[in-house]
């Protein structure tokens, strides 16, 4: 099948995903009217073939990841999605089949999260595919939850389970046939399909003092949360929530615990909650269907955060933070 | 010199460019508070090395182009810039010297246009450099100037001069040493450095019925403006404003007129103005320092727009529209 030119490609695959203000993608810009009394929250993250995903991942999964990693940032800030722009840089050998499946996955994810496509750009990459998303959310004016606003004594909490995606990636690079196939599939799925914790956004606004999403590993991202603030933290490894699949993988190889704690792509939320707000935070998180757990505490001091094992000894990690760069 | 990691790179080169709401680029998202009663205008355009610019172009010029092509879209919609996000995908052989010069050019352009950096992402491209910008502007609610809103009888106007950048590109690909060096430099400069017509934004809001920026050539973009609307147009080539440098280049080779009318990268404004508003539009454009000229008229009919030569004959073009894709 002959490949479509840029205009035809947009009309065929992306115009059906467009929302109000996008003019059916027939203009050079979109308009967005924020709700009265609200701030916009803006975030941009790109994923690159061979860097952030495997070039032969299902195109729909790549789309889910490209949008999901951005929605995860909005969730961590306490924002409700309003829309996104897509910068799609295609390799010279792109196919209509790939693009069709990509657009289908993107549309499904966009619909699921109430985040319509508002515009974007399509270019030749001259190399691997790059999918850049800019996502827009909104929240009541002045209520954005910042990354570096924790105080000593705040309790550190995480949503969901930690390390699944990193273990999923590790098992793709070094398969472990002895692990239960259902567990292998669960971990693989977490690597492929981030689950932005948007349901937690209002709970974070109400109760968290600081928050970020965990994209580069719990240990590394906690370090970023406190870097330069004069604060440190202590986490108890035994309190970090692990999925049954992660537990099974770690049981077969205890070194995988470090992978779980430092590997990337969790897209869970890390937040600092004042102690007096902790019960309400945990209860409301459960009520919106996002399990959350207390894992540690913020303390005064400039040392790097520590992760303590069951004996109370600080664990040492070869790499503190996963980096896609 | 050892190259900085992502966090250090952001702190060193990009944090100094950041504006209010960006938290010094130490958060995953920025906040933007639109002015009361205003809509946001959103646009995303990326430039790729070897596709949209020459890999050995001065890094500062590449930055000016990456931001400028987006600000040009805001100008065409009638918006005032509020900020931008940067997605920087770097090739494996990036250098600190390149990045430093790029950031310097970006900072100067950002300052010139009152458009601070609000955030972004830095990734490995695995191929050529890609610079993706998402720019945000604002305008009084409901006043966005759309691309496809022209009506029969509207006068077509363009800002500035047409074809300089396309001729600058053509002369880079096929140098013409007989052309006056000052003219060659003027055309080269127009190719390297788009001049977003932001001063024209309020004049467009006040008087234009439809507008777009000319990025893919006057003829092709006019076709896009009218595509599917049941309208066509007639332009008189002799009324299309040309710079002294473009006139000199065309005098040496009349075939270059087609390049000027169909080539890309003008980043001037094409707009449709109701006849009764034309005098005020032209007068106010002159008052804000952006020359504008009437070049044709919108007419009923579904045929492609025609460009008439001095004899009144429709010109034929090998390629109606320049495409970067």
When pLDDT is cut at 50, 70 and 90, the band that residue B3 belongs to is confident
Cα–Cα distance, A117 to A25 (Å, whole number): 9
pLDDT value, residue A304: 93
- Residue B7: band (very low, low, confident or very high) from pLDDT cuts 50, 70, 90: confident
Domain residue limits, chain A: 6-140, 155-308
Q: To probe the interface with A, which of B66, B117, B134 has the most A CB atoms within 10 Å?
A: B134
- From first CA to last CA, the distance across chain B in angstroms is 36
Strands A117-124 and A80-90: parallel
Q: Does residue B268 carry a pLDDT above 60?
A: yes
pLDDT of A1 reads: 43
Averaged pLDDT in 10-residue chunks for chain A of 325 residues: 76 91 90 94 97 96 98 98 97 96 97 96 96 98 97 98 98 96 97 97 98 97 95 98 98 96 96 98 98 98 94 84 60
Facing A48 at nearest CB: one of B125, B224, B323: B125
Check if B99 contacts A (Cβ < 8 Å).
no
C-alpha span between B18 and B24 (Å, rounded): 6
Q: What average pLDDT does range B173-193 have in this prediction?
A: 97
Q: What is the pLDDT of residue B94?
A: 95
Domain covering A6-140 in this structure, CATH number: 3.30.1330.10
pLDDT for B234 equals 97
* Predicted pLDDT at B1: 43
Torsion from C-alpha of B227, B228, B230, B234, nearest 10 degrees: 0
3-state secondary structure of A171: helix
| Interaxial angle between packed helices B244-252 and B164-173, expressed in degrees from 0 to 180 and rounded to the nearest 10 | 50
Distance CA A157, CA A176 (A): 31
Cβ-defined contact of A42 to B51 (cutoff 8 Å): no
What are B83's two structure tokens? 């900020």
Chain B nearest CA to A93, separation (Å): 13
| CA-closest candidate to residue A248, choices A319, A169, A310, A168 | A168
Residues of chain B with C-beta less than 8 angstroms from the C-beta of A209: none
Residue B268: CB atoms within 10 A of its CB come to 31
Least confidently predicted of A204-213, A238-247, B11-20, B312-321? B312-321
CATH for A155-308 is: 3.90.650.10
Strand pairing partners for B136? B42, B83
* Per-residue pLDDT, B4: 72
DSSP string computed for A36-93: TTEEEEEEEEEEEBTTTB-TTS-HHHHHHHHHHHHHHHHHHHTPEEEEEEEEEEE-TT
A314 Cα distance to chain centroid:
27
pLDDT at residue number A6: 82
d(CA B161, CA B145): 21
Report the distance separating Cα A133 and Cα A139, nearest Å. Answer: 20
Please list, in sequence order, all residues whose beta carbon lies within 8 angstroms of the beta carbon of residue A181, skipping any fewer than 6 positions away.
none
Q: Report the candidate in B307, B294, B303, B232 with the shortest Cα–Cα distance to residue B262.
A: B307
Q: Measured between CB atoms, which of B31, B86, B124 is closest to A51?
A: B124
Q: With beta carbons less than 8 A apart as the criterion, state whether A41 and A134 touch.
A: no
Q: Read off φ and ψ for residue A103, nearest 5 degrees.
A: -65, -35
Site from B14, B15, B31, B82 to mutate, A interface, most A CB atoms within 10 angstroms: B31
Give pLDDT tens digits for B227-250: 999 999 999 999 999 999 999 999
Output the known binding site of B for substrate.
Answer: 52, 265, 322
Q: What is the pLDDT at residue B324?
A: 59
- Residue A10: CB atoms within 10 A of its CB come to 21
Distance CA(A44)–CA(A87), nearest Å, equals 10
Following DSSP, what letter does each residue of A168-227 receive, concatenated? HHHHHHS--TTS-HHHHHHHHHHHH-----GGGHHHHHHH-SEEEEESS-HHHHHHHHHT
Report residue A199 as tokens: 């349901």
Taking 70 as the threshold, does the pLDDT of residue B289 lie above it?
yes
pLDDT at A33: 92
| Tokens 């002799």, located at residue | B238
Predicted local confidence at residue B323, as pLDDT: 63
Report percent pLDDT > 70 for chain B.
97
Q: Are strands B117-124 and B80-90 parallel, antiparallel or unpaired?
A: parallel
Q: Name the residue among A91, A112, A125, A90 with its Cα closest to residue A13.
A: A90
Asked if B11 has any chain A CB less than 8 Å from its own CB, the reply is no
Query: Looking at residue A319, what is its pLDDT?
Result: 64
What residues of chain B lie within 8 A of the CB of A31, using their CB?
Answer: 39-42, 77, 144
- Of the two residues A115 and B1, the one the predictor is more confident about is A115
Contact A162, A242 (CB under 8 A): yes
Token pair for residue A126?
A: 């001259």
Q: Do the chains contact at B44 and A7, CB–CB below 8 Å? A: no
Using CA atoms, how far apart are residues B277 and A122, in angstroms rounded to an integer?
Answer: 35
What are the strands of the beta sheet with B130-140, ordered from one edge? A30-32, B38-48, B130-140, B80-90, B117-124
Angstrom distance (rounded) from CA B190 to CA B271: 21
Q: Is the dihedral angle over the CA atoms A322, A325, B5, B7 positive or is it negative? A: negative
Query: Coil, strand or helix: which one is A28?
Result: coil
State the nearest Cα–Cα gap between B286 and chain A, in angstroms.
25
């Amino acid at each position: 099948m002959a490949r479509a030119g840029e205009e035809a490609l947009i009309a065929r695959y992306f115009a059906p995903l467009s929302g109000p203000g996008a003019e059916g993608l027939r203009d050079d810009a979109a308009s967005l009217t924020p709700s009265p009394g609200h701030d916009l929250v803006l975030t941009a993250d790109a994923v690159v073939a061979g860097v952030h995903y495997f070039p032969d991942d299902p195109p729909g999964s790549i789309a889910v990841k490209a949008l999901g990693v951005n929605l995860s940032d909005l969730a961590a800030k306490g924002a409700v999605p309003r829309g996104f722009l897509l910068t799609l840089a295609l390799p010279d050998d792109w196919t209509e089949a790939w693009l069709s499946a990509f657009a289908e996955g993107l549309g499904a994810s966009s619909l699921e999260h109430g985040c319509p496509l508002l515009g974007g750009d399509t270019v030749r990459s001259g190399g691997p595919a790059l999918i850049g998303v800019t996502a827009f959310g909104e929240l009541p004016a002045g209520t954005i939850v910042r990354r570096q606003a924790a105080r000593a004594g705040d309790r550190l909490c995480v949503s969901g389970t930690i390390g699944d995606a990193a273990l999923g990636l590790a098992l793709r690079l070094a398969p472990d046939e002895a692990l239960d196939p259902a567990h292998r599939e669960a971990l693989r799925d977490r690597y492929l399909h981030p689950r932005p914790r948007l349901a937690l956004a209002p709970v974070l606004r109400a109760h968290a003092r600081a928050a970020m999403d965990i994209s580069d590993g719990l240990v590394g991202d906690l370090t970023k949360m406190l870097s330069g603030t004069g604060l440190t933290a202590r986490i108890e490894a035994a309190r970090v929530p692990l999925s049954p699949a992660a537990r099974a993988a770690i049981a077969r190889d205890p070194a995988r615990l470090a992978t779980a704690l430092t590997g990337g792509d969790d897209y869970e939320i890390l937040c600092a909650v004042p102690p007096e707000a902790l019960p309400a935070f945990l209860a409301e998180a459960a009520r919106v269907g996002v399990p959350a757990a207390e894992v540690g505490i913020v303390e005064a001091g400039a040392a790097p955060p520590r992760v303590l094992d069951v004996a109370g000894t600080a664990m040492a990690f070869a790499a503190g933070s996963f980096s896609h760069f």
